[in-house]
Amino acid sequence: MQISSGISGFVRSLKKTPRGLFNPWYHYDKAHDLSADAPVIRKRQFEHYLAERQGRAKFLLIAEALGYQGGHFTGMAMTSERILLGHQESRYGIRPGHVFKSIEPQRTSKPEINDLGMSEPTATIVWGSLIKLGIDPYEVVLWNAVPWHPYKKDNGMLTNRTPLTGEMEAGLRHLRDFIALFPDSELIAVGRKCEQSLKQLELKHRGVRHPANGGAPAFRRQFAAIYSETERRN
């Protein structure tokens, strides 16, 4: 598949990374990555994921930041290796082909960390909700207000932490540029942190509960209502 100059330029713009954040497309996690090619694999998967949705996306779901169980190893927001490797199909109906089809999915984490690949609860809930609602996954793009992974320095890469104010501000330019790749899509903030970023950019959006920490039922209900309303309007 041909990657547009807009997408390749956007991904290049993500290279400069604030201190204390992991960049999955340009950083090598020596302790946990399967090989030094891991950033290249994540970058290629991310580009194909975006390219397959350009011109088709109706909804942009934007959460807070990459997590170590998801985008740290896949390069895609709210998307886990276990989804890419087909291990969430029998239980949740989520197939690797729901994420991208033009290349073969690859894991980048060492199997000794988790033999089935890393699994992120938020990723499973979000993708599972799309499938259960009968939404074409190619009409939805997932992203984060902070595109990189905030981790706890003293506890290592396999941790998450809340982004700092300066890190949220550093993500604003990329958030604006990401949205510009999908100009006709409706913006949905997943959680309060992202809502703050979209308000700073003065962009029209709607908010839903983040599925973490018991928020899954509210997320499903609120997103289903937005989707139904949009379908009726169109």
Residue 234 pLDDT greater than 90, yes or no: no
Is residue 150 within 8 Å of residue 21, measured between CB atoms?
yes
Instruction: Give residue 7's pLDDT band: very low, low, confident or very high (50, 70, 90).
Output: very high
- Residues making up the chain, counted from first to last: 234
d(CA 189, CA 195): 5
**What pLDDT shows up at residue 233?**
79
Residue 232 has pLDDT above 90, yes or no: no
pLDDT exceeds cutoff 80 at 158? yes
Domains of the chain plus CATH, in order, are 5-233 (3.40.470.10)
- The full DSSP string for 36-101 is TTHHHHHHHHHHHHHHTTTTT--EEEEEEE--TTTHHHHSSTT--HHHHTTTTHHHH---GGGT-S
Distance from first CA to last CA of the chain, Å, rounded? 30
Per the CB < 8 A criterion, the answer to whether 94 and 132 are in contact is: no
pLDDT tier, 199 (very low <50, low <70, confident <90, very high otherwise): very high
Percentage of the chain beyond pLDDT 70 is 100
pLDDT per residue as tens digits for the range 113-126: 999 999 999 999 99
Mean pLDDT of 99-105: 97
Residue 230 has a pLDDT of: 82
Q: Give the pLDDT score at 213.
A: 86
Please say if the pLDDT value at position 1 is more than 90. no
Q: Which of 43-47, 64-68, 110-114, 223-227 bottoms out in mean pLDDT, i.e. has the lowest?
A: 223-227
Q: How confident is the model at residue 127 (pLDDT cuts 50, 70, 90)?
A: very high
Confidence of residue 151 (pLDDT cuts 50, 70, 90): very high
pLDDT at 231: 78
Q: What is the pTM of this model?
A: 0.96
Distance CA 71, CA 186 (A): 22
Mean pLDDT of the chain: 96
